[in-house]
Structure 1
């Protein structure tokens, strides 16, 4: 289907433009900036230029949509791996409006929009309180601070799939308030009647039930020459929290570093190693990580893959004529 993608949780990647500004710790070793500089492009800083894609490039999703409709199976498209669609930048306003029109013309694609700027979603997207069912929306959260800032805003979006990308995962995360149906804290309004709605929670049978929650969590370690290791316990914690809530969990990769045990350690005996002393394994010992590279590190956690993805449900969105403007 389509051109294919090296990103494990999608099938195609579409970048309407390249470039955005760094805004959080996950951006420190930005892979997109590294890739752009290989092409002589300096695009990843505040108010810098943004590289626009050609009209021919913009035709690819229309082709993918036709193929998906022909075989009767929707296809996932990640938009955008080299930018942030919701960045406030004067150079991308027209391209963003063009993107919304393209998305509406391609209902057989499952558009996966991922942002670090959820505060701009409501103002910049055209769909208000009724998003097309073929558009998924997610936020990135590499640490607890970013999770607590971004996820509550994401949960206000009425999309068919709301997802979280924890890559690179830089610390242990508590996602219980955003995954489970029950409030994780104390009763905020003990005298409220059943049916009351406060801060995204509804009073039902004397308990506060979360109205909206995450549908999907993606996690992974960091790649690249300056990659930081991800502790195995952080991934196990996310896996456990998702399992308890019935939320899909996808482990994308270990990245450059993997646990230094089993075959991984024997394959690169001279590789660089590091002890993660701030957290310990099940025996109370520091966890040793070994740098073997993304390919050898793989994506197995406790010997098995985790590749859960929300189902590709059909939509009833009108398919506009291809003669309509993008």
Structure 2
């Protein structure tokens, strides 16, 4: 698969592991699982067991061969911090990120508790951004975990946003992303939920990136929020 990503807030995807299990409501219409089923159907070896968690040693060192600096999303097709991924493999991934200083790595997880447990045993070099996925208020504890990490840069992806976030606190957060679901049976993302988060970002001077509406609203609104494209990405 090409390293080039169609995700608007990154340049490339790196998948040293693939596969995951549904762990919270935001996973219901997982695009990665849907994609894995398609790739399985056309014979991709990495997906011979569809979405079972696997490590891929042959992909571990890929970023070292990409000479031009990129923003790289770590594991668009899984979650590096999944319980089935061995600790040592995670350390090896961090080792590659530490070496590939030409890149900015966007490490995004739903397993924030495990990342907290391992945080003191890895080197958070300046080119590693730690991020958590949060779908509604019930999972804001992931943000609390994020703020305890040794990472120098932290971001939150409210993707997919399927419920409101009350009084968001973006102290010690460097970037916020919002996106709705694009699946066939996508759940609605209400505009007031998005406005609340956007307004908190503006108030806290945190870069805000609005990735997309849910499938239904996207037809009507495109990618604008109140008529504005929010494509802010930290330098």
Note if 1:50 corresponds to 2:53. Answer: yes
Is 2:116–2:148's contact at 8 Å kept on the other side of the alignment?
A: no
**Aligned partners of 2:136, 2:97: CA distance in 1, in Å?**
31
**Aligned partners of 1:92, 1:299: CA distance in 2, in Å?**
39
Is 2:120–2:150's contact at 8 Å kept on the other side of the alignment?
A: no
Cα distance, 1:235 vs structure 2: 1.0
Structure 2 counterpart of 1:228? 187
- TM-score normalised to the size of structure 2? 0.88
Runs of 5+ unmatched residues, structure 2: 41-46
Note if 1:298 corresponds to 2:200. Answer: no
Higher strand share: 1
For residues 273-311 of structure 1, what are the alpha-carbon distances to aligned partners after superposition, in whole Å with 9 as ceiling and x for unaligned? xxxxxxxxxxxxxxxxxxxxxxxx531111221011121
Task: Give the SS at the match of 1:155.
Answer: helix
Aligned Cα RMSD in Å? Answer: 2.1
**Aligned partners of 1:238, 1:171: CA distance in 2, in Å?**
12
Is 1:84–1:114's contact at 8 Å kept on the other side of the alignment?
A: yes
Structure 2 counterpart of 1:79? 74
- Mapping of 1:262-281 within 5 angstroms? 264-265=219-220
For residues 247-285 of structure 1, what are the alpha-carbon distances to aligned partners after superposition, in whole Å with 9 as ceiling and x for unaligned? 1111011131217xxxx55xxxxxxxxxxxxxxxxxxxx
Structure 1 counterpart of 2:208? 249
Cα distance, 1:81 vs structure 2: 0.9
Note if 1:142 corresponds to 2:144. Answer: no
Is 1:168–1:220's contact at 8 Å kept on the other side of the alignment?
A: yes
Q: 1:127 to 1:133 in 2, by over 3 A?
A: farther
For residues 52-96 of structure 1, what are the alpha-carbon distances to aligned partners after superposition, in whole Å with 9 as ceiling and x for unaligned? 3362x44431122x223xxxxxx211001111111111x544432
Structure 2 counterpart of 1:103? 97
Q: 1:215 to 1:27 in 2, by over 3 A?
A: same
Higher helix share: 2
Is 1:16–1:95's contact at 8 Å kept on the other side of the alignment?
A: no
Cα distance, 1:50 vs structure 2: 2.2
**Aligned partners of 2:39, 2:79: CA distance in 1, in Å?**
19
**Aligned partners of 2:103, 2:15: CA distance in 1, in Å?**
15
Task: Give the SS at the match of 2:148.
Answer: coil
Runs of 5+ unmatched residues, structure 1: 69-74, 181-212, 266-296, 312-326
**Aligned partners of 2:205, 2:121: CA distance in 1, in Å?**
28
Q: 1:16 to 1:67 in 2, by over 3 A?
A: same
Structure 1 counterpart of 2:43? none
For residues 143-172 of structure 1, what are the alpha-carbon distances to aligned partners after superposition, in whole Å with 9 as ceiling and x for unaligned? 00101x211111011222111110111112
**Aligned partners of 1:95, 1:152: CA distance in 2, in Å?**
25
**Aligned partners of 2:167, 2:108: CA distance in 1, in Å?**
18
Aligned residues: 227
- Mapping of 1:187-206 within 5 angstroms? none
